[in-house]
Structure 1
Amino acid sequence: MPRVIWKGAISFGLVHVPVALYPASSESGIDFDWLDKRTMDPVGYQRINKRTGKVVDKQHIVRGTKVDDGGYVVLSDDEIRNAYPKTMQSIEIECFVRADQIPFVHLEKPYYLEPVGKSEKVYALLREAMLSAGVIGIARVVMHLKEHLAAVIPAGPALMLDTLRWVDEIRPWNELKLPPEGKAAAGLKEAELKMAGQLIEDMTEPWHAERFADRFTEAIHALVKQRAEAGKTERVRPLEEAGPGEPQGNVVDLTELLKRSLGERKKPPTRKRA
């Protein structure tokens, strides 16, 4: 089981669902290590001072944001957290939409959400209510000191979180040379459309993910196995490295507040006196 990468709570209205976030995908490609071909020693990544060329210890590195005059504003992790604390430990659902309204280009990376503590009932309540309504939740969440737009999606027994790309991260297609929309504008003939439609119909089938495999990775694994069996290997002395520490997170455990949430939604906006 992968390790927890974030802990917090889903919030919708005044209801909070404590959850733990797990990665829902893994890289299945070939993991090539860098080696020095002269000595077969491992080659790693280092943080280098660009002026002196010397290695910099992690404890001496700070975060800086460049401003218009060429200078940098330096911020600590605590200052960053305090600047926007609202969603640091919360997946805040702002609205619900139908899944087919979100273009595929916005989808980024999937995660599993697991209920924490005694939140199984309210977790299931949110999952089943979303399934019945046929909607997914659009939320904000901060991970690794970066805010993400995200979709909370019921999938089987799980609630999943899929990070979404912000609209300004999607490049417009008007920078590309594309054929005009519409059959007539693109100069397509009815006979051509009919044959293309027939081909698409013949190739249409139910989706089965297990039918598709990474053929490139399989070919590289076969090549590596062939070389290893032939004795064509190089000996590399491993370097001992300390593993990363486990992340910490605070979980907020609040009671069900559905009625109050609905009441808050129905309250008329208060008018400010002139």
Structure 2
Amino acid sequence: MSARAIWKGAISFGLVHVPVALYPASQDTGIDFDWLDKRSMDPVGYQRINKRTGKVIQSSDIVKGVKQDDGEYVLLSDEQIKAAYPAATQTIEIETFVKAMEIPFLLLEKPYYLEPLGKGERVYALLREAMFEAGVIGISRVVMHAREHLAALIPMGPGLVLNTIRWATEIRPVKDLKLPPEGRTAAGLKPTELQMATQLIGDMTTRWEAERFEDRFVNAVQALLDRKIEAGDTRTVAPLEEAPPTSTSNVVDLTELLARSLAQHKQTAPATRQARSGRASTTPKPAGSRRA
């Protein structure tokens, strides 16, 4: 891929490790507006300002601080943060597998592509195909940019996609909104209204094809730009001066590692099932296709 890998590590699958590189799977396609001073056509940039002195400071002079209740700050460097949780910064650890339909769309955040590194192609393919066969996605954790993310590991075509998931605490409760009550009777809906609405939805239902949809706002703005350029309505802006290696371990005996992982899981499964029995469970839904 032409993009640069933003993270390198390994997928932890039981005792098996799949060395991978992480690439952004999405890109911004909107119109990129620059800020300009309309009086002089000089570029207007973002600056880091010391709030007490009002002076611009360099990025190298900035440190991370966490404010305490008494007003004092605890300072942490990037190296200290990484050392505090070293294993997680190098591993995408799969904690459990779930049906894809059990993850609400509200929680999905940002997708990334995973590419196998070194001699990890076979184990990569094994994990991908096994997930397809089981109709599941993996729920994992990954640390990027000094922050831990919950993520869904999704088999998609020939690859694996890592889609970060928002934490439950990041979702605002819906109870604060004034919404109509659930249920057709409680909402005061007439049977004929519901029937016609259902029929209309059925008539409008098609197969999902992402290519059918485009950003019409961007197209309209780009057309406006083209008309201005053609009319010579442009201004000149004077240019300004532009102010971790990870070891990839080879898998010696994949069958042995899988057998050991299964044996290890059987030892911990009774306690895990007992802990989960007290939680509300969601009825699994049919797995999607390979193009999920």
Q: Alpha-carbon deviation of 1:148?
A: 0.2
Gaps of 5+ in 1: 243-247
Q: Alpha-carbon deviation of 1:252?
A: 3.5
Give the whole-Å Cα distance in 1 for the aligned partners of 2:221 and 2:267.
62
**Mapping of 1:13-92 within 5 angstroms?**
13-92=14-93
Letter matched to residue 141 of structure 1: V
Q: Is the 8 A contact 1:15 1:254 kept in 2?
A: no
Aligned residues: 266
Residue 212 of structure 1 corresponds to which residue in structure 2?
A: 213
Give the whole-Å Cα distance in 2 for the aligned partners of 1:69 and 1:112.
43
Length-normalised TM-score, structure 2: 0.88
Q: Secondary structure at the match of 2:101?
A: helix
Give the whole-Å Cα distance in 1 for the aligned partners of 2:3 and 2:56.
32
Give the whole-Å Cα distance in 2 for the aligned partners of 1:7 and 1:240.
33
Q: Alpha-carbon deviation of 1:254?
A: 4.4
Give the whole-Å Cα distance in 1 for the aligned partners of 2:246 and 2:45.
34
Residue 168 of structure 1 corresponds to which residue in structure 2?
A: 169
Q: Is the 8 A contact 2:18 2:124 kept in 1?
A: yes
Q: Alpha-carbon deviation of 1:236?
A: 1.0
Deviations 1:74-97 (A, max 9, x none): 011111111111210110000000
Q: 1:250 aligns with which of 230, 246, 253?
A: 246
Percent identity for Structure 1 against Structure 2: 66
Deviations 1:204-263 (A, max 9, x none): 011111111100000000000100111110011222327xxxxx3424424232111111
Q: Which moved more, 1:92-101 or 1:50-59?
A: 50-59
Change (3 A) 1:158 1:125: same
RMSD, matched Cα: 1.6
Q: Does 1:186 align with 2:187?
A: yes
Q: Secondary structure at the match of 1:260?
A: helix
**Mapping of 1:89-238 within 5 angstroms?**
89-238=90-239
Give the whole-Å Cα distance in 1 for the aligned partners of 2:21 and 2:239.
34
Bigger relative CO (Cα 8 Å, ≥ 6 apart):
1
Gaps of 5+ in 2: 272-292
Residue 266 of structure 1 corresponds to which residue in structure 2?
A: 266
- In terms of fraction of residues, the more helix-rich structure is 2
Deviations 1:7-42 (A, max 9, x none): 111001111000000000111111101111111111
Letter matched to residue 89 of structure 2: M
Q: Is the 8 A contact 1:89 1:251 kept in 2?
A: no
